Amino acid sequence: MNISKRSGRSGTIVALAVSAILAGPTTGLAETALTVNGVDIDSTVLDMYLESRIQKPANQATPEEREVVIQELTDIYLLTTQPNANAIEADPSVKAQIELQGRAVLAQAVAADFFASNPASDDEILAEYQIQMASAPASQFKARHILVETQAAASDLIVQLNDGADFAELATANSTGPTGPNGGDLGWFSPEQMVAPFSDAVAALDDGAYTLEPVQTQFGWHVILREESRDNQPPTLESVRDQLKQRVEQTKFQNYIENLRSDNGDSN
């Protein structure tokens, strides 16, 4: 990330400071990094702000990047230690912003602590895998389609197919979809990868058959050829473990939030 030598605007400086706070804490022992108007700024604050600005670990900052960030941070502390800062801080709207930003930082930290303290177990990941596999479609399909703008155009293509025209050639010549140059080839897909009217039409066909009526979706009108089908090949547990872990932990957190909301409602 390239950063300018000086922002020149207090609004930009403050916005950058807030993003640094929300970016999360750095690790390591804090020590005074610099002092501005008698206020010590420790190394944790400096490193957090530095990392938010350069989008990489603080120890990877170039000397120029560090110099620019130190000047920006100095400007923040200079502005917030001016004689009128206390009076401005007491303004209701400013107090509200500080309150909200502080709560956002704390909420993020509490959420991070919850995730760290409630990791998904192997049994929970396996159970989620079994749930997902049970709801997975039984079949996959290989199909081609021709996408046109009107029902009449799609009906005319079906007439040509009935007269013996080649599907791929018609798709290449007429389809407005991105697969048109490839003869409308969609490759292999599972039903949930397509919009419902399309996947329902494919599932109703036999291998080698095409739709005898145009199929409408939000993209236009389709003529569909189902070339082949096969049993669905579910992913292995290990190949989707990370996604399942994230899903389980997110569900735990959502349940935690729902319980907090319920308890709060009961107390009102």
Cα angle 144, 196, 130; round to 5: 100
Backbone angles phi, psi at 77, to 5 degrees: -70, -35
State yes or no: pLDDT of 17 exceeds 70.
no
Is residue 129 one of the residues assigned to a domain? yes
Do 175 and 218 sit in the same domain of this protein? yes
Same-domain check for residues 239 and 128: yes
Any domain includes 107: no
Are residues 256 and 180 located together in one domain of the fold? no
**Contact yes or no for 51/63 (Cβ under 8 A):** no
Q: Are residues 166 and 223 in the same domain?
A: yes
Token pair in block for residue 15: 């916005």
Residue 30's pLDDT is 65
Whether 262 and 185 map to the same domain: the answer is no
Cα 218 from Cα 245, distance rounded (Å): 34
Is the overall model pTM greater than 0.85, yes or no? no
Residues 208 and 245 both lie in one domain: no
Q: How many domains does the chain have?
A: 3
142 and 188 in contact (C-beta within 8 Å)? yes
pLDDT of residue 23: 46
Over residues 37-41, the mean pLDDT reads 93
- Using one digit for the tens of pLDDT, what is the confidence trace for 232-248? 888 999 999 999 999 99
Give me the mean pLDDT over the 122-130 stretch: 97
Q: Is 17 left (phi over 0), alpha (psi -120 to 50) or beta?
A: alpha
Mean pLDDT across 128-145: 92
CATH of the domain at 176: 3.10.50.40
Res. 21 pLDDT band, cuts 50 70 90: very low
Tell me, what's the pLDDT at 29? 58
Q: Where are the beta strands (DSSP E) in the chain?
A: 32-36, 39-42, 139-148, 185-189, 215-217, 220-231
When comparing pLDDT for 26 and 227, which is higher? 227
Determine, yes or no, domain membership for 158.
yes
Question: Among residues of the chain, what percentage have pLDDT more than 90?
Answer: 82
Long-range contacts formed by 211-216: CB under 8 A, 24+ apart: 211/158, 212/158, 213/158, 214/151, 214/154, 214/155, 214/158, 215/154, 216/151
Q: Determine the pLDDT at residue 239.
A: 96
Same domain, 9 and 49: yes
* Vertex 196: Cα angle to 242 and 134 (nearest 5): 40
Residue 238: what pLDDT?
A: 97
- Determine, yes or no, domain membership for 89: no
- Please indicate, yes or no, whether residues 157 and 24 belong to a single structural domain of this protein: no
Asked if residue 117 is part of any domain, the answer here is no
Domain ranges, residue 254: 122-133+235-267
How much of the chain, in percent, has pLDDT values that exceed 70? 88
Q: Is the pLDDT of residue 109 over 50?
A: yes
Express each pLDDT in 182-198 by its tens digit.
Answer: 999 999 999 989 999 99
> Do 226 and 249 have their domain in common?
no
Within a domain: residue 239? yes
* CA gap 147, 169 in Å, rounded: 13
Query: Is the separation of the CB atoms in 73 and 41 below 8 Å?
Result: yes
Residue owning tokens 């909200």 = 100
